Structure 1
Amino acid sequence: MCLQKGRCTVPELYLGSLAGADLLLLAGLPFWAVNIALRYKWPFGEFLCRYVNSVIYMNFYSSVYFLVMVSIDRYLALVKVLHHGRIRTLSCAKANCFIIWMFSLLMSSPSIIFRRVIYVKELNMSACLLNYPNNYWVVKMDIVMMVIGFLIPAAIISFCTFQILNVLRNNQMQRFKQVCKENKATNLVLAVLLVFVICWLPFQLFRFLRIFQFTNILQGCSLTSAISNGNQIASFLACTNSCINPVLYVLVGKQFRKKARELWVRARGKSLKTFGDSLANRTTSTES
């Protein structure tokens, strides 16, 4: 996305930002892998404890709202074909991306504030843990994540997707060439959204169960253990969303493959030219 010659389109800008959010998450995985391998003994200090673990929250909020913007952009392109001129511009998209990044940073701030390297006496080790003042903080943060991070975006995405599918089913709209060209891009959007829901919905469901656990509505050692283990598995499933998205870009997005191919041909041409120049210089030097 960064190395292509032409200007990015609005959907490409949003998808590129989504890829950046995924890359941000993947950059933190080596730290978490070492942490798990050491049985949750955190060896990287207080600073990385706070900021590495806040990355997952930044990735979550930025990913979901970049997907929201992609859905809105498809909605404007397909449903409001004649009325999106001033809204669907690169400058507006750049402003939206900046706002989303700042918003995701704000929503990840509780992790930065309350994450601590805490010595656990029972386990005789120091672990990187969220140390909220009380259990009500846990409930509040889970509710905020469910409402702002899932329910509101899901409502917007569902509305846009429903409107887009209605337009694509309407034979009268097929006379617009733009609609036909946008169909393939819409398939990519739908695939990315479907994978997002599959990966993140279990995580949200276990967050919902955890609210009942911390408010003592659900009690019992076996139930607590099941919720804890399920939440851990759901967290891993949620993180795989960042690994699946790039595969979708390559398999579904023909425009992405086309530009990647152009970049490869351009890079190959430069390397062959450099090799030819080097060979010519060597020949000239030998003849001299």
Structure 2
Amino acid sequence: MNSTIVGQSNEQVDDYALDYSYTLDHNYTYVNKNNSEGNHAHCRETACVFSVILNVIIFLLGIIGNGGVIWIAGFKMKKKVNTTWYLSLAMSDFIFCSTLPLTIVKLVTDNWPFGLFMCKFTSFVMFINMYSSIFILVIISVDRCLTVRFPVWAQNNRSIAKANAVVVFAWVMSALLSIPAARFRKIQDKQTYKVCYNDHEGHHQTAVFIRFSFGFLIPFLSICLCYSILIRKLRENHRSKSNKPYKIMTLLIVTFFLCWMPFHIVAVMELGEYKNTPGYYSAQYVTATIACANSCLNPFLYSFMAKDLKKKCYSFLSKIESAIDEETRSGIRGTSITYSGDHRLSTAV
């Protein structure tokens, strides 16, 4: 079907689908050869239906899983540095997942009935989730690197108070970087529906550059640097008792980048001519929903990596607690110092 998009500025069209599924505002009015008047279409495309179904699953799993991590790390377990990192990560994902019902309503009805404040707030929450998640993963990587590379310093300086301060700083930076996402969100009234969309007022390229740089590239390079130091140090340390905590950290990081990399690639592609192709908007639906899925996966990674995975008598929550507790014990072992026969420092992680 040959169709033409009418009724919206080019900049509004170009800025669509830069956020999660609720910003994939394909509320365009279509005019074809057989219809001179535009019809407001609901969610009928395969990509849209896929997004709705996956968002419902993500909402349910994300609320239950991250809620379980918050309950365990925040109330059941003793407060330690490592539990602080994972509690912050779970809180970020939980807050975002709690806004997904608005996304689902928007996708199903192709309408935004929640007003300008929620239009801005949901976009703000989405990006604060993106930034805070990757910042916390960088913090975890740096913390593990310092623990292994400088065990004496780590043992004397790692504290819950400092960990809380670092987390607060990460959240403040995430909030500052997320302000433009809320600043440029607007509502447009149509005859029978409303559109929540991005209007970057000519700053679209700058917005994409900042998101890609601070939400993906720079954190990725930082984590790679930490990993190279960790791998080299762990190869020298043959007394490591367990590498399972590093597998958990690796899974969290790999999952984040696998979920978010397609989103950023598509966002960068939008700066070129690809945005004019029919399949591009479907790619935006799919990649944005995959990025959204990252918010519900972390608790299950904790569970699957726990020691008692094969023991069916253990509950899902106990697996999460086991994984986080193992990470905490490993961090304590990493700061312990023993002397070998030739009086060299050895760290057991």
Q: TM-score range by the shorter chain?
A: 0.7 to 0.9
Q: Closer, same or farther in 2 for the Cα pair 1:9/1:50, shift >3 Å? A: same
- Indicate the residue corresponding to 2:70 in structure 1: none
Whether the 8 Å contact between 1:4 and 1:259 is mirrored in structure 2 is no
1:138–1:84 distance in 2 versus 1, CA, 3 Å: same
- 8 A Cα contact 2:131 2:174, kept in partner: yes
Matches within 5 A, 1:185-224: 185-211=245-271, 213=272, 218=273, 221-222=276-277
Instruction: Return the match for 1:73 from 143, 155, 162.
Output: 143
CA deviation map 1:217-243 (0-9, x unaligned): x26832xx3333212211110111111
Residue 304 of structure 2 contacts residue 319 of structure 2 at CA under 8 Å; is this kept in 1?
Answer: no
In the alignment, structure 2 segments of 5+ residues that lack a partner are 1-72, 309-316, 323-349
Q: TM-score, with normalisation over the residues of structure 1?
A: 0.78
Please state which structure has a larger fraction of its residues in helix: 1
Structure with the greater relative contact order (CA < 8 A, sep ≥ 6): 1 or 2? 2
Structure ID, larger Rg: 1
- How many pairs does the alignment contain? 242
Q: Distance in 2 between matches of 1:67 and 1:226?
A: 33
TM-score by length of 2: 0.65
- From 80, 100, 107, the equivalent of 1:9 is 80
In the alignment, is residue 53 of structure 1 matched against residue 123 of structure 2?
yes
For 2:92, the equivalent position in structure 1 comes to 21
Q: Is the 8 A contact 2:306 2:320 kept in 1?
A: no
Aligned with residue 149 of structure 1, among 205, 211, 215? 215
Residue in structure 2 matched with residue 278 of structure 1 by the alignment: none
Give a deviation string over 1:163-206, Cα, whole Å, max 9, x none: 21222222xx133xxx425x221111011111111111111111
Question: Which residue does the alignment assign to 1:92?
Answer: 162
Give SS of 1:118's match. Answer: strand
| Paired AA for residue 72 in structure 1 | V
Moved more, 56-65 or 82-91: 82-91
Q: Deviations over 1:10-46 (max 9, x none)?
A: 121111100111001101100100010102x101111
- 1:248 — aligned with what? 301
Worse-matched range after superposition: 246-255 or 185-194: 246-255
| 2:197 aligned counterpart, secondary structure | strand
| Preserved CA contact (<8 Å) 2:302 2:320 | no
**Structure 1 unaligned residues grouped into runs of 5+:** 262-288
Residue 116 in 1 paired to residue 186 in 2?
A: yes
Counterpart of 2:238? Answer: 174
1:251 corresponds to which letter in structure 2? F
